[in-house]
A and B are shown apart, each in its own frame.
Chain A
Amino acid sequence: MAQKVSLESGRLDTALAHWLSHESQRGVFVTDAQFRLVVWNQWMEIHSGRLSSDVIGRVLFDLYPEAATRGIREHYEGAVEGSVTILSHAFHRFLLALPPTNTELGVAEMPQSAHIGPLSIDGTVIGTVTVIDDVSDRLATEHALRKQIEAQRRARATAEQALHAKDEFLSTLSHEMRTPLNAVLGWARILLDRQTLDHALVQRALQVIERNASAQTKMIDDMLDMARIVSGKLRLEMKTVDIVSIVIAAVDVIMPSADARKIAVRTHLDPKTPLIVGDPDRLQQVIVNLLSNAVKFTDVGGSIEVRLDISDTEVCLVVKDTGRGIDSAFLPHVFERFRQGDASSTRRHGGLGLGLALVRDLVELHGGSVSAQSAGEGKGAMFMVRLPTMAEAAVGDDGARVAGPGPRALAGIRVLLIEDEPDSRDLARAALTRFGAMVSAASSSAEAVNEVLSATSETMPHVVVSDIGMPVEDGYVFIQQLRALSPERGGRIPAVSVTGYSTPGDVDRALAAGFQLHLSKPVDPLALIEAVAKLSRQPC
Chain B
Amino acid sequence: MELSALQQDALIELINIGFGRAGAALSKLTGHRVQLEVPEITMCPIDEMADRLRPLLDNEVATVHQIFSGPVDGDALLVLDRNSAAILKELLTSEPPLPLEIDRSAREVITEIGNILLNACLGTFGNILKVKVSFSVPHLTLDTLESVVGSITVDRTGLRYALIVHSHFRLRNSSLTGYLVIVLGVGSIEMLIRALEGWEGQGR
CA of A415 to CA of B112, assembled, Å? 96
What A residues does B167 contact at CB under 8 A? none
B65–chain A nearest beta-carbon distance, Å: 12
Instruction: Given A91-B29, A91-B30, A91-B109, answer yes or no on A82-B134 (Cβ-Cβ < 8 Å).
Output: yes
Residues of A within 8 A of B30 (CB): 91
Pairwise interchain contact A86-B108, C-beta atoms closer than 8 A: yes
Inter-chain contact A87/B112, CB cutoff 8 Å: yes
Take A83-B119, A86-B111 as given contacts and tell me if A120 and B138 are in contact as well, using a CB distance cutoff of 8 Å: no
Which of chain A's residues has its CB closest to B136's CB? Answer: A84
**Distance, CA A146 to CA B103, complexed state (A):** 10
Q: How far is the CB of B155 from chain A (nearest CB, A)?
A: 18
Decide if B132 touches A82 in the complex (CB within 8 Å). Answer: yes
Instruction: Flag if A142 contacts B138 (CB, 8 Å).
Output: no
CB-contacts of B102-116 with A (<8 A): 102-106, 108-109, 111-112, 115
User: Of A81, A83, A89, A149, which is within 8 A of B108 by CB?
Assistant: A89
Q: Return chain B residues, CB-CB under 8 Å to A118.
A: 134
Contact across chains for A149 and B98 when beta carbons are under 8 A apart: yes
Q: Which of B93, B105, B123, B136 has the most chain A CB within a 10 Å cutoff?
A: B105
Known contacts: A84-B66, A91-B30, A146-B98. The answer to whether A125 contacts B134 by CB under 8 A is yes
**Which residues of chain A come closer than 8 Å to B203, judged between CB atoms?**
none
Q: B150 interface residue, CB < 8 Å from A? A: no
Residue B55 at the A interface, CB < 8 A? no
Number of interface residues of B (CB under 8 A): 28
Q: Tell me whether chain A's interface is mostly helix, strand or loop, or mixed.
A: mixed
Minimal beta-carbon separation of B167 from chain A (angstroms): 18
**Do A88 and B111 form a contact, CB below 8 Å, given A81-B132, A82-B70?**
yes
Interface assignment of A117: CB less than 8 Å from any CB of chain B: yes
Say yes or no: B112 contacts A150, CB within 8 Å: no
Q: A82-B70, A86-B112, A142-B98 in contact; A117/B135 too (CB < 8 A)?
A: yes
Does A139 sit at the interface, judged by CB under 8 A? yes
The answer for the CA separation of A461 and B23 in the assembled complex, in Å, is 104
B105 and A138 within 8 A (CB): yes
What 1/0 mask marks residues of chain B from 130 to 162 whose CB sits below 8 Å from any chain A CB? 001111111000000000000000000000000
- Residue among A78, A90, A139 with most chain B CB within 10 A: A90
The distance from the CB of A71 to the nearest CB of chain B, in whole angstroms, is: 9
Is B96 part of the contact surface with A, judged by Cβ < 8 Å? yes
A91 touching B135 by the CB < 8 A rule? no
> CB distance A123 to B134 under 8 Å?
yes
Contacting residue for A145 out of B98, B112, B115, B123, CB 8 A: B98
List chain B residues, Cβ under 8 A from A83: 119, 123, 135
A418-438 interface code vs B (CB 8 A; 1 in, 0 out): 000000000000000000000
Tell me whether A91 and B70 are in contact (CB under 8 A).
no
A82 to B96 CA separation, bound complex (whole angstroms): 35
A121-140 interface bits toward B, Cβ cutoff 8 Å, 1 = contact, 0 = none: 00101000000000100110
Q: Which of A78, A86, A88 contacts B105 (CB 8 A)?
A: A88
Closest to B123 in A: A83
Find out whether the CB atom of B109 lies under 8 angstroms from the CB atom of A90. yes
C-alpha spacing A78/B96, complex, angstroms: 32
User: At the interface, yes or no: B95 with Cβ under 8 Å from chain A?
Assistant: yes
For the complex, what is the distance from the CA of A81 to the CA of B30, rounded to whole Å?
Answer: 25
Selected A-B contacts with CB under 8 Å, 16 pairs: A81-B132, A82-B70, A82-B135, A85-B119, A86-B108, A86-B112, A86-B138, A87-B112, A90-B92, A90-B108, A91-B93, A91-B109, A125-B134, A142-B98, A142-B104, A145-B102
Give B residues with C-beta under 8 Å from A: 29-30, 66, 70, 92-93, 95-96, 98, 102-106, 108-109, 111-112, 115, 119, 123, 132-138
Extra pairs beyond A81-B132, A84-B115 (4, CB < 8 Å): A88-B111, A90-B105, A138-B105, A139-B105
